[in-house]
Amino acid sequence: MQIMEGDLIRTIETHSSLINHYHTAGVPGRADLDADQEINYPAVLRAIIRTGYTDLSVTSSFRRVNLLAALKAAFDVANL
């Protein structure tokens, strides 16, 4: 969505009632959810939480060997 449309947070807030699944990945290259890519995931994750979303999501990360460590780092940065 970031690549094709951008404006992630406004789209999430505007259309949250229509979204029933989130698939996260860093941009570019489906990298980790960290400060080395263009999406500000702490802000995006907080926006998703503000909508009341409580279902599962999927994360792609093709750079880290330990995906759980990558997810923990992303959520720690977001203070979640």
Please check whether residue 19 lies inside any domain of the structure.
yes
Q: Highest mean pLDDT: which of 29-38, 57-66, 67-76? A: 29-38
11-24 pLDDT, tens digit each: 999 999 999 999 88
Strands (E), 1-80: 22-25, 57-60
Total domains, the chain:
1
Cα(46)–Cα(30) distance, integer angstroms: 20
pLDDT at 80 > cutoff 90: no
Neighbours of 44 (CB within 10 A): 19
Q: Are 39 and 32 in contact (CB under 8 A)?
A: no
Q: Are 63 and 32 in contact (CB under 8 A)?
A: yes
For position 58, what pLDDT does the model report? Answer: 77
Please check whether residue 1 lies inside any domain of the structure.
no
Please check whether residue 2 lies inside any domain of the structure.
no
Full residue range of the structural domain in which residue 13 is found: 8-77
40-67 pLDDT, tens digit each: 888 888 899 999 998 877 777 676 666 6
pTM for the complete prediction? Answer: 0.75
